[in-house]
Amino acid sequence: MAGSPPGADAPPAEWWERLAARAIEAFAFGVLYYILFIALWGVFRTVGMLAALDGRLPGVFAWLAVGLTYTGYDWWAHYRRGRTFGKAIMGIRLAPPHVASRALLKRSLVYPGPVMLMGIPVANLVAGMLLFCVGLLILIDKPLERGPHDRLAGTRVVKDLR
């Protein structure tokens, strides 16, 4: 089609490709979480604050920092290159290739944004259910397989046929 944006004809990424891309990223950011958690545990132990919140303070701060970093990275990578490193490994990307920064920020705040809340008791249950629902909605949205974060930004995740 002459008037359609690039990537409009590309087939949607399979659910398992999207899951694998997020799992690759989750592993990398999980390593960052554990490094930060151990460092914060040492700091809080040194200053005598380890017992605050029943010893959960290092975990809360580590989840908040890593979740914020992951959300910021997700926004930045999609804005700059149209995909994250997990998507690049799996050979998938966002379409259309150029999306407004504000739309991508909203997309990142819906998913993976709730990861920031994973260290907070009770809030982690809500965040986990939200993340599960996003994944479920991707599975049942046929034929484009878009989640609420994709709909909010006007994007799709497609196979990179370049």
Q: 48's torsion region: left (phi>0), alpha (psi -120 to 50) or beta? A: left
The whole-number pLDDT of residue 45 equals 84
Segment 16-31 mean pLDDT: 96
The whole-number pLDDT of residue 50 equals 72
Percent of the chain whose predicted confidence (pLDDT) is above 90: 70
Separation of alpha carbons 24 and 21, rounded Å: 5
The whole-number pLDDT of residue 2 equals 44
Whose structure tokens read 């920031």?
Answer: 116
Nearest to 66 by CA among 40, 103, 104: 40
Nearest to 144 by CA among 2, 18, 1: 18
pTM above the 0.95 mark? no
The whole-number pLDDT of residue 55 equals 76
Segment 98-119 mean pLDDT: 92
Q: Are 160 and 114 in contact (CB under 8 A)?
A: no
Separation of alpha carbons 29 and 74, rounded Å: 12
Dig out the tokens for 93 from the structure: 């990307």
Task: Write the pLDDT tens digit of every residue in 33-83.
Answer: 999 999 999 998 888 777 766 778 888 999 999 999 999 999 999 999 999
